[in-house]
Amino acid sequence: ITFNQSILFSVPELQEPKVITVVPFQNITLKPKEVCKLEVTFAPKKRVPAFSEEVFMECLGLLRPLFLLSGCCQALEISLDQDHLPFGPVVHQTQASRRILMLNTGDMGARKRFKWDVKKFEPHFSISPEEGYITPGMEVSFEVTYHPTEVGKESLYKNLLCFIQGGNPLSLTLSGVCVGPPVVKEVVNFTCQVRSKHTQIILLSNRTNQTWNLHPIIEGEHWEGAEFITLEAHQQNKPYEITYRPRTMNVENRKHQGTLFFPLPDGTGWLYALHGTAELPKAVSNIYREVPCKTPYTELLPITNWLNKPQRFRVIVEMLKPEKPDLSVTVKGLDYIDVLSGSKKDYKLNFFSYKEGIYSAKVIFRNEATGEFLFYTVTFKVIPSGIIKTIEMVTPVRQNTSASIKVENPLPYSVTFATECRVPDISLPIQFAVPANSEAMFTFEFQPLKAGETFGKLTLHNSDLGYYQYELSLKALPAPPEKPIYFQTVLGSSQSIFAKFTNYTRQRAEYFCRTDCSDFHMDKVINAAPGAQGGTEVSVEVFFEPSHLGETKGTLILSSLMGGEYTIPLIGMALPPKPQGPYLIRAGYNIIIPFKNVFTHMVTFTFAVENPAFSIRATDSVRPKKSNNISVYFEGNPSGSKTPITTKLIVSCRPEEGSEAEIKWVYYLKGITP
C-alpha cells in the first residue's frame, strides 16, 4: 500500500518549522509483510511544554492512527507583558505612573536574578523595584514613573535593558511628553494677623475606580498643609486643610501669593491659587496685674523668634494711660533684646509706682531691619501698698525715744508730705519737705505716758507720690521711780515737803494720790493743767508725821487715766522728841499744852511735874492719832516773892505699852507772879 503521514499539532511551539520532522513522511509504499523504519527528529528552539501528539496514516481518504509522539523541552522563559509603555502628555511638576509585569513561564527550577539598568532611565523616568529575583510561575510587578522637568519636551527612551541571570536581557521602550500646568481651578483667599494662622478647606473628589495617593505641592513660604492625602476610589468631597501662617506683613498692600497643586496619577492635576492678606499683629497677650504701690515688680514677657535666624528687637514702651507723663511711675527695661533662631526668651519689664492708680502701656518689640514687630499691652492696677515697714520703739514711760525714716523724692521738684499719726504718744511735725531728686530723713518721737504695748500707723502723704504707711510697734516699759523725797522731824511733830512731777498730757488731768505708809499723807486728788511741749511741773504737798523713832519708808503713787502713773519714794527719819518751852504761866492761871498720841495704837501716858506749885490735868489713855490736851495750872510762888519759878513737865509712855523703849516728851514751864 501507499500512504502519507499526517500530524495536527495542538501545541503552538510544535507548529514552528523543523521543530519535529518525520522521515519519510510522504508517499510511503509497503509491500505485504514489509516493515518500514521512520526517523523522528525533535529539535526545539525554545521551551516546549509537555505534549502528546498522534501521527496518522492517510490512505484512500481514510485516517488511521499510527503512533503517539510525546515529549517536552525545558528552558528559561522570562518576558514582559509589554515592551513599549507610552505615558502620553503629563503636566509639568507632576508625575505619572504605569505598571508592567515580568512573567517567568519557564521550567528551570532555580530562581533567577534580574536587574534593570536604572541609569538609562534618568532623568525623566524611574522604575521600582530596580532589582530582585523571579522563580518559575512567578509574576513581578514594576511601577514605572514619568516625572518630566521641561514643558514641551518629548521623551523617548529606547532599549532600556533588564538583565536576567542565565538568560537574554529584556528590552523596554518608554515615551511621554511634558505639558504646561493646567488652568487655575479656584482662588483661595486667606486673611489673618501676621504670625497667626487662617485655615481653609478644599474639597477633593476621585471619580475613578482606583485609589489615589496624592502628594500636594505647595509653593509659597506662608502656606502649609498635609504632605500626603489618600482618595479612595469614587470618594467624593474629601476635605484637605491648607493653612496660611504669614511670618511677615504685606508690603505696600501687596498680598502674599502661592499655589497649591495636586498631581494626579494620570499625569494631570488640580491647581489652586493662594492669596494671603497679613494684617498688623494683634497683641501677643493683654496682661493685667494688681501691684502694690512703692513695691518693685517685674513682669516677664516671652519673646518668640519666628525666623530661622537670630533677631534683634528694639524695645519701645508707649504709655497708653495716663496720656500725660507721670514722673511718679516707671515702666522700663533694656533697650534691645536678642533672640536666637526658633527660640524663646523672656524680657524683663520693670514697673514701679509711688501712688495708686491704673497705668497701661504698649510694649513693642520691633526688628529695625525688617520692620516686623510684636507687642504686649500691659495694665497695672496699683493698689495701696499696705504696711511698708514695721518700726519698733521701746522706752520707759515719760522718756523720749526717736526713730527715722528715709524718704525718697524722684521728682525734679521739691515735694511736701503731710503727716498723720493717731497715737497720742507720738510727736511729729505736721509737714515734711524733701528737695528735688534727693532723699531726706523723717524723724519722729515716742514719749509714752503709760506702761504697756500699743500698735499704730504712721502715714505720709503727697499728691504726687501717694501714701507711705508704716506700722508702729510701741512698747512702754514701767517708769523708774522719781527721785526720793527725804523727811526729818522729831517724834510727835510733822514735816511737809512739796513733791514735784512733770505732767506731759496735752489736756487737763486729774491725779489720784495714795501712799502705802500711814506716816505720810497728802490730798487725795490734785488737778494738773495741760502740759506744754516739754511738760508742765505739778506739785503735791506731802506731810510726814512719824509714828515711831527711826527710819520710815513709803511710796507716793500718783495715777491718772490720761497722764499715767508716777511713783515717788518717801523716806522719813523720826528723831527723839526735843524739849519744848519754856511755857509762861501767870500765877492763878492755867495753860493748855497740845499733845497727840502719834502711835498707831492706844497708849497710856504718864504725866509728871517736878515743882508742886504746878498742877496737871490730862487723860492717861489716848487713842491712836488722837490729841490729848494737857492743862497746866500755876498757883504762884509759895514764898510770896515775885521771883519766877521754873520746872519741867515730863510725859512718858510705859515701855510695855509703847512700840519701843520708854519715850519722854519734856516741856519747860516758867511760873510768873505779878
pLDDT for the residue 46: 78
User: With 70 as the cut, is the pLDDT of residue 462 above it?
Assistant: yes
**Residues in CB range of 519: below 8 A, 6 or more apart:** 544, 545, 546, 547, 552, 554, 572
What beta strand segments (E) does 410-477 contain? 415-421, 426-427, 431-434, 438-446, 452-462, 466-477
Report the SS3 class of residue 13. Answer: helix
User: With 70 as the cut, is the pLDDT of residue 505 above it?
Assistant: yes
> Which CATH topology does 184-279 take?
Immunoglobulin-like (2.60.40)
* CATH class given for the domain over 286-380: mainly beta
Query: Quick one: which of 448, 393, 437 has its CA closest to 413?
Result: 437
State the Cα–Cα distance between residues 611 and 644, nearest whole angstrom.
12
Query: Quick one: which of 53, 54, 108, 42 has its CA closest to 76?
Result: 108
Q: Are 178 and 133 in contact (CB under 8 A)?
A: no
Residues of the chain with CATH 2.60.40.10: 80-179, 184-279, 389-476, 485-575, 580-672
Q: Burial level of 301, CB count in 10 A (0-12/13-18/19+)?
A: buried
User: With 70 as the cut, is the pLDDT of residue 660 above it?
Assistant: no
Q: Dump pLDDT digits (tens) for 171-210.
A: 999 998 888 777 888 999 999 999 899 999 999 999 999 9
Q: Which residue has the cell 511670618?
A: 247
639 versus 226: which is more confidently predicted? 226
pLDDT for the residue 656: 53
State the Cα–Cα distance between residues 630 and 211, nearest whole angstrom.
149
The CATH architecture annotation of domain 80-179 reads: Sandwich (2.60)
User: With 60 as the cut, is the pLDDT of residue 658 above it?
Assistant: no
pLDDT for the residue 321: 92
Confidence of residue 655 (pLDDT cuts 50, 70, 90): very low
| Average pLDDT of the segment spanning 560-579 | 92
pLDDT for the residue 654: 64
State the Cα–Cα distance between residues 503 and 358, nearest whole angstrom.
49
User: With 50 as the cut, is the pLDDT of residue 549 above it?
Assistant: yes
Handedness of CA 76, 81, 85, 87 (dihedral sign): negative
Q: Burial level of 580, CB count in 10 A (0-12/13-18/19+)?
A: middle
What is the side-by-side strand order in the sheet with 198-204?
198-204, 238-244, 223-225
540 versus 66: which is more confidently predicted? 540
| Average pLDDT of the segment spanning 381-390 | 91
Confidence of residue 516 (pLDDT cuts 50, 70, 90): very high
| Average pLDDT of the segment spanning 522-532 | 88
Residues of the chain with CATH 2.60.40.2310: 286-380
pLDDT for the residue 347: 97
Q: What is the DSSP letter of 234?
A: T
Q: Would you state the cell numbers that stand for residue 279, as one nine-digit string? A: 494684617
Q: Which residue has the cell 502620553?
A: 88
pLDDT for the residue 192: 94
| Average pLDDT of the segment spanning 213-231 | 92
Q: Is the pTM of this model over 0.75?
A: no
* CATH class given for the domain over 580-672: mainly beta
3-state secondary structure 252-304: CCECEEEEEEEECCCCCEEEEEEEEEEECCCCCCEEEEEEECCCCEEEEEEEE
State the Cα–Cα distance between residues 215 and 212, nearest whole angstrom.
10
Q: Dump pLDDT digits (tens) for 243-294.
A: 999 989 988 889 999 999 898 888 788 889 999 999 999 999 999 999 999 9
Is residue 674 reached through a cis peptide bond, with omega within 30 degrees of 0 on the bond before it?
no
Q: Would you state the cell numbers that stand for residue 12, as one nine-digit string? A: 503552538
The H-or-E segment that residue 621 falls in is strand 621-622
Q: Are 214 and 231 in contact (CB under 8 A)?
A: yes
The H-or-E segment that residue 374 falls in is strand 373-383
State the Cα–Cα distance between residues 511 and 491, nearest whole angstrom.
30
Domain 389-476 has CATH 2.60.40.10: yes
| Average pLDDT of the segment spanning 359-371 | 95
According to DSSP H, which parts of 189-243 are helical?
none
Q: Which amino acid type is present at position 195?
A: R
> Which CATH topology does 485-575 take?
Immunoglobulin-like (2.60.40)
| Average pLDDT of the segment spanning 340-346 | 94
Q: Are 428 and 444 in contact (CB under 8 A)?
A: yes
Confidence of residue 506 (pLDDT cuts 50, 70, 90): confident
Give the count of beta carbons closer than 10 Å to the beta carbon of residue 326.
Answer: 16
Is residue 129 reached through a cis peptide bond, with omega within 30 degrees of 0 on the bond before it?
yes
Q: Would you state the cell numbers that stand for residue 358, as one nine-digit string? A: 491704673
Q: What is the DSSP letter of 377?
A: E
421 versus 658: which is more confidently predicted? 421
